[in-house]
Copies of this chain bind each other. A is one copy, B any other.
Amino acid sequence: MLVRFLCMQENKRATLIDVANAAGVGASTVSRYVRGGKSVSQRVAKRIEAAIAALGYEPNTLARGLRVGRSQTLGVLVPHVNNVFFGNALRTIQMEAQRRGFTVMLLMHQEDAKLQQEQLASLKRSRVDGIVLVPAANTSAQAVRALLEGTPVVAFDRPLHKTIDSITLENLNAGKIATEHLLGHGHRHLLAVTGDYELHPLEWRMKGFQRAMESAGKTPEEICLRDPEQLSQDLCKALQRGRSPVTAILSLSYSVTISILKVLHDRKIPLRSIAFIGIDDLEFASLLDPELTTITQPTNQLAQMAVDQLMKRIEGSEEHPIRVAIPGKLTVRSSCGCRGQVGMSRA
């Protein structure tokens, strides 16, 4: 009662000084105690503890941040959170950050480079200590570097620039192993479908496809998802042409897979009639018939490494920029043809 009266007259939040007064000690003593139970006598500790509880004191992170020049906050800027990969990555990033005493400020740029710049500026104003960035399509690495001068950044999922740490999937390899797997099933005419945006991962996955095809002495075919209608036509043409139609499809990303499935569904082309592998896992991959074979990203590992590396930079490590690429895992289900006679009727 008394303490409440002493400092809460205006119903304002209790401050460190309120606690100090209530406990009958100096401010810095409370400060030391709050930050880590070091160098405080037992008796005083008890009194401080009591005062904190009585006042409902919560340290003011803003004030601390201003004082020490560190907000203990990480900025996370992603295109969106509407797929398993980003969703899970976000979860891991947030938890890893929290484990280290950091909170996460989340922004999305919707694949829009201009909006991305604004979001980055916003993060700078918030004085985040570091940023996990999934660069938008058509990002100018130079513009980002200029804006972020002085703030540690790690590029996630998509590399950005030689001077910036990046943590990504081994994209070329992903394209390669998927293609090789399909080739292993005896298919001769494979089609790779890529997305609308010019994204580094898509390009390298495509390169993996091309190399694997060339190594096997086959001609790589590819189409690009511009609008759904176009995709629908292109796809049908490839699948239903008279001479040596395509019998196996490699989808280069999550959203492309969704689009392809939609086309097949709309056109009533049974998934069973072709071999299919998608890069990026889907939540419902094993709910389809046949179950979808995918290349799964080691999402948690990627996210963890991103946070790790970012922390190193925040601590001030001046080492050379790193460029980590982790291999994806071929998750074999049925759509590739491994179970049943998927797509082999015409192979």
Interface residues of chain A, those whose CB is within 8 Å of chain B, are 11, 13, 56, 58-63, 65-66, 71, 73, 76, 80-82, 84, 87-88, 90-91, 94-95, 98, 103-108, 121-122, 124-127, 149-150, 258, 261-262, 265, 282-284, 286-289
Contacts and interface: CB of A to CB of B under 8 A. Distances in A.
Given A107-B94, A287-B261, A126 B82 contact: no
A233 B66 CA distance: 58
A82 B81 CA distance: 8
Contacts of A103: 105, 107, 122, 126
Number of copies of this chain that the complex holds: 2
A262 B82 CA distance: 21
Contacts of A150: 11, 13
A60 B56 contact: no
A59 B125 CA distance: 6
Contact of A284 (B66, B81, B258): B258
B265 A61 contact: no
A262 B284 CA distance: 9
Contacts of A98: 107, 122
A253 to B, nearest CB: 15
Given A106-B104, A283-B258, A287-B265, A125 B58 contact: yes
Nearest to A70: B62
